[in-house]
Amino acid sequence: MDNRKETIILNAFDRIERGGGRILTRLRKLVAIPSVNPPGERYFEMVSCLQEECIKLGMKTEIHQVPKKVAEAAGVAAEFPRYNLLARWDVGASKTLHFNAHYDVVPAPGSWRYGPFDPCEHKGWLYGRGSGDMKGSIVSLFTAIDAIRMSGVKPVFNIECSLTADEETGGQLGAGYVVNEGLIDADYTVVCEGAAGTRVGLGHNGVLWLQCHVKGKSAHAARPELGRNAFEAMTEIVHGLQRYKNQLSTSSRCYRDVNGKKRYPTVTIGGVFGGVGQKVNTVPGDAMFSLDRRILPNEHLSHVERELRSCISLGAATQPQVRCRVETALRIEPCVTNANLPMPQSFAKSVKVVRRRVAEFHTTNGFTDLHYFVRDAGLPGVGYGVDGDRAHGVDERVRLRDVAQTAKIYSHFMLTGI
């Protein structure tokens, strides 16, 4: 690296270091808006706030509302419209780098030390729902762009950003919408989550969500022989699924990650369960439960779904007194980028410069919106964001120092390229 380039980078880093107050102010502002999904609260307020920040950074912006019919077809109520923000900084470069981040957050039940939407800084941490997942990464992105602009230089890429809805429920109307509608125009992408610290995300597991509905017949508990107990039938079906679950840890199911770590598929039974009109002195006529099956990169979603539905059918066949109906709630294919491509290698160098340790590649057990850009849009991409703590839990938080370090990595990659 020549001396001039190094000076530019160090100048950007210095501005990030001295911008701690702006980081805290921005993060508090975003976390204070309860953009909770489901159902999709305060989305327009959220994208308006993000648009305002992007305009301050000198970016051209567009807000795209998902058409009502499209949203309703996806099961979204009319009173919760979906919005996505596109922002662009065109510097006349030959290549464009796209950053994606979602602004929705999961609900915040439980007893919090500080209010989940009353963000509080304590001993270098910012507490609040979404601080780590993933509004902290949005602030890192804004901070990186701000530092480069204040330095009076241009990145080696045009910078394009999508700040999108609904990742927490699959992203179909968020990142999926902006990709499938052809709203992005880029050569590379960074999804601002999926790895952190010295890890660079190459992809994620797939996921299959099923809902099993068991229909029996209600009756008074004084005459149970007149009913067909849906709950008891459900437990027999679940018993068969437990045997299936135990088979997932066998060697034939093993996947070896790019870093050599062995991983196995998982299934969670009954994340959601219940029935209709339950009462202690009633034979339950309706019961339901959910399945969450995580799909490894060496598996195919269609095969996994057939396998799981077959297992449910076998269990239901032993309960002829009831009917079992299975609905698919979410299907996301696994996604992995080749670690040897120039883009992941270059991003890993930026991580090494800032973190002062060799970066390792990683695929996350969860799912992110990366697959929309890698699988659907065909872009080389990585996942990288802040290292939040207690994501989806009580007292979610992010270290402000890590927000700054992540901003340095983003700015270094913007300034050095591939």
Q: How confident is the model at residue 327 (pLDDT cuts 50, 70, 90)?
A: very high
| Residue labelled with tokens 């994208």 | 47
Query: Which residue(s) pair with 120 in the sheet?
Result: 127
**In a shared domain, residues 210 and 198:** no
What would the two tokens of residue 327 be? Answer: 């609905």
**In a shared domain, residues 236 and 321:** yes
**In a shared domain, residues 260 and 146:** no
What would the two tokens of residue 333 be? Answer: 């294919």
**In a shared domain, residues 388 and 256:** no
Mean pLDDT of 48-68: 98
**In a shared domain, residues 94 and 174:** yes
Cβ-count burial 129-138 (b if 16+ within 10 Å, e if not): bbbbbbbbbb
How does pLDDT run across 33-42, given as a tens digit for each residue? 999 999 999 9
217 in Cβ contact with 285 (< 8 Å): yes
What would the two tokens of residue 413 be? Answer: 């990659």
The Cβ of residue 61 has, within 10 Å, a number of other Cβ atoms equal to 18
| Residue labelled with tokens 């022989």 | 225
Q: How confident is the model at residue 2 (pLDDT cuts 50, 70, 90)?
A: confident
How does pLDDT run across 221-273, given as a tens digit for each residue? 999 999 999 999 999 999 999 999 999 999 999 999 888 889 999 999 999 99
The Cβ of residue 110 has, within 10 Å, a number of other Cβ atoms equal to 9
**In a shared domain, residues 327 and 190:** no
Query: Sign (positive/negative) of CA torsion 53, 57, 58, 59?
Result: negative
**In a shared domain, residues 179 and 219:** no
Tell whether pTM > 0.85.
Answer: yes
Point out the domain boundary residue: 332, 351, 381: 332
Among 205, 195, 257, 168, CA closest to 383: 195
Please, what is the average pLDDT of the chain? 96
Point out the domain boundary residue: 301, 332, 363: 332
Mean pLDDT of 374-397: 97
> What pLDDT score does 3 carry?
82
Q: What is the CATH number of the domain that holds 343?
A: 3.40.630.10
**CA dist 62 to 65, 84, 88, 283, 402, Å?**
10, 8, 9, 55, 29
Look up the domain containing 315 and give its range.
206-332
Point out the domain boundary residue: 302, 332, 362: 332
**In a shared domain, residues 76 and 179:** yes
**In a shared domain, residues 55 and 189:** yes
> What pLDDT score does 276 carry?
82
How does pLDDT run across 190-224, given as a tens digit for each residue? 999 999 999 999 999 999 999 999 999 999 999 99
How does pLDDT run across 121-149, given as a tens digit for each residue? 999 999 999 999 999 999 999 999 999 99
Greatest Cα pair distance, the chain, in angstroms, is 87
Cα of 4 vs its chain's centroid, Å: 38
> What pLDDT score does 1 carry?
66
**In a shared domain, residues 24 and 36:** yes
Residue 28 phi/psi, 5-degree rounding, is -60, -45
The Cβ of residue 376 has, within 10 Å, a number of other Cβ atoms equal to 14
Domain count, the chain: 2
**In a shared domain, residues 345 and 412:** yes
Mean pLDDT of 346-366: 96
> What pLDDT score does 235 carry?
95
**In a shared domain, residues 165 and 229:** no
Q: What is the CATH number of the domain that holds 326?
A: 3.30.70.360
| Dist. CA 105–CA 135, nearest whole Å | 9
